[in-house]
Chains A and B, each alone.
Chain A
Amino acid sequence: MKISEADVEYVAKLANLEVHDDEKKELAEQLSRIVEHVEELNTLDVSNVLPTYQVVSNTKIAIREDRALPRTGSSEAGKTIKLFKVPKVITER
């Protein structure tokens, strides 16, 4: 599938990225080439195949007891950084 400059603009917005006008054409061309390449996966029939999200075995952490553990670093971070100041989010109407 061909990726248009409008597609680049739309996806950039979703990704919180700003893309210069002069970059759009090049990105659309490069992404089109990559997407055309990955579309070769369509030659495979995977209708009866289950997806693999993670190849992990023998993990025990996911079912550990539900209690807080000390984390290295977080207390030090807390000493120096109390709050993160950000620009105003809410504006008056």
Chain B
Amino acid sequence: MNLKNLTADRLVSLYANRDLTVTEVITSVFDEIDRSDGSIRAFISLCRERALEEARRTDSRIAAGEPLNALSGVPVAIKDNMNVRDVPTTCGSKILENYIPPYTATAVERLRTAGAIVIGKTNMDEFAMGSSTENSGYFVTRNPHDLERVPGGSSGGSAASVAAGMSLIALGSDTGGSIRQPASFCGVVGMKPTYGRVSRYGLVAYASSLDQIGPFTKSVRECAQVLETICGFDHYDSTSADTPVDSFVKHLDQPMKDIRIGIPREYFVAGMDPDVKANIESAIRRYESMGCKIEDIRLPHTEHAVATYYLIATAEASSNLARYDGVRYGLRVGGAGGLSEMYRKTRMAGFGKEVKRRILLGTYALSAGYYDAYYLKALKVRTLILQDFEKAFEKVNIILTPTTPTPAFRIGEKTADPLSMYLSDIFTITCNLSGLPGISLPCGKSSANLPIGMQLISNHFQEAMLLQVAHNFEKAGGFGNVSL
């Protein structure tokens, strides 16, 4: 059974026709993991027994003639910063190595209610801090398209699991591009919804005003299905949006009318890979041929986004990560010298280099004498970035950009220079700063046969239109399921 060419909607119809059993599919998922994950290393932990048990239960319900749900028997991989009750949540960090959460994240719970089966937890940059999954406290995940290259990050394990056919769908989280960038590098669809759309309850916090959960899939249709399932108000998250969730799937096949696509000049910078540029330009022409109006727009504060992001994200992180002190979550080191010694020794032993660097930067930006100059200033520039988008959306309803300036880079290429790694997020972080939804979908391949991703952005809560525009491109171009 080749899961690389199978989509969730097709799978559910095969179950409904009794052409396949859930047990067969889940068994073959773990066979594929046994075959491929030794070299890719997408998973931190597997839920083999539990998943097979759920598969058997689903099969007997189908045999009894019960109706199937939208995601019945669909295998899903979960980034290891979302809680699944009784399964370890490590967040890619040694400091949470032995943490077993007593509850399940709302987004995961909603997928399971729709019938999805959790098969395992995926590798990530520690506390979602990174763009390559090289910063995991456990091991490096490799890109299924080229094992010498990174899968992107921080949700690299989730992206790689879907691209390699080790899972059909996956959840990731996106604070500065951590879903869209690995989706682009691995040739799959990845989406960050509007801030507040998906509950963050049960998601380990990195930068709370930027974090958002979203799906990885092979097609836009599956993305719409997963998103429709996990979106919606949740009283366990104080920033959850009380906005009605339309049927994103039903909206997909409606004809595109009056779509005006803005191309921001600032996103076509020097240093962009020529293959990326060529593929994005051809995507623009394709939309034009489908009757969309293409307009030049300006987002003049784009060049300040990386600086703004790294001040706000690290400041919030330094506060969020203060809770890992050796008292409640697994790891504890020292203690003979008293409580503060235990805090320091535990945090020193449990956190990796990048996490310590970001905590230090965030603490510095918030410290007396520097708060106004760094943190407050960044919050004000955030307003300017948001206003750029407000102005742009008066003219257009979709913004089209490359997801990343280059295809997947080599393992080790950017680890020595943290700043160069940060700058690779330039095209994705503006969505997080402004809370806008963004989707990355495959739009071609480079001369080295690496996937290239295109990013589409819409105004807040316009996911239905965003998915529809993405779906129309996929249908016209056939770039979905970029095969390995």
Q: Which residues of A contact B (CB under 8 A)?
A: 3, 7-8, 11-12, 14-19, 27, 30-31, 33-35, 37-42, 44, 46, 49-62, 64, 69, 71-74, 76-77, 80, 84, 86-89, 91
Contact = CB atoms under 8 A, between A and B. Distances in A.
Decide if the interface of chain B is mainly helix, strand, loop or mixed. helix
B102 A73 contact: yes
Top 3 nearest A-B pairs by Cβ distance? A73-B103, A55-B435, A51-B379
Given A11-B364, A38-B310, A51 B239 contact: no
B313 to A, nearest CB: 11
Contact of B327 (A40, A84, A88): A84
B195 interface: yes
B48 interface: no
Contact of B209 (A46, A55, A76): A55
B479 to A, nearest CB: 31
Given A16-B344, A46-B381, A46-B384, 7 more contacts: A16-B340, A17-B356, A18-B348, A35-B361, A39-B307, A72-B104, A87-B342
Contacts of A34: 310, 361, 418-419, 422
A8 B379 contact: no
B219 interface: no
Contact of B236 (A16, A39, A53, A71): A71
Given A34-B419, A38-B310, A12 B360 contact: yes
Nearest to B83: A73
B281 to A, nearest CB: 29
19 contacts: A8-B360, A15-B363, A16-B322, A17-B347, A34-B310, A39-B307, A41-B308, A41-B377, A42-B377, A55-B386, A59-B238, A59-B239, A60-B233, A61-B240, A62-B238, A73-B102, A77-B103, A87-B336, A87-B341
B162 interface: no
Q: Which of A59, A64, A89 has most chain B Cβ within 10 Å? A: A59
B339 A89 contact: yes
B382 interface: yes
Contacts of A15: 318, 322, 359-360, 363
B338 A89 contact: yes
B378 interface: yes
B241 A58 contact: yes
B304 interface: yes
Contacts of A91: 338
B257 interface: no
A30 B209 CA distance: 26
Given A14-B367, A44-B304, A58-B241, A52 B379 contact: yes
Interface string B344-380: 1101100100001101110110010000001011111
A70 to B, nearest CB: 10
Nearest to B209: A54
A93 B300 CA distance: 62
Nearest to A16: B343
A37 to B, nearest CB: 6
Contacts of B306: 37
A42 B372 CA distance: 12
Contacts of A80: 102
A8 B318 CA distance: 15
A51 B376 contact: yes
A77 B307 CA distance: 40
Contact of A11 (B104, B344, B363): B363
Nearest to B109: A72
Interface string B95-131: 0000001111000000000000000000000000000
Contacts of B58: none
Contacts of B374: 38
Given A11-B364, A27-B360, A41-B307, A64 B235 contact: yes
A35 to B, nearest CB: 8
A88 B341 CA distance: 11
A30 B357 contact: yes
A84 B328 CA distance: 7
Interface in B428-484: 433-435, 460-461
B379 A53 contact: yes
B383 interface: yes
Contacts of A77: 102-103
Contact of A69 (B196, B235, B240, B301): B235
B325 interface: yes
B243 A58 contact: yes
Nearest to B243: A58
B412 interface: no
Contacts of B395: none
Contact of B325 (A16, A19, A38, A72): A16
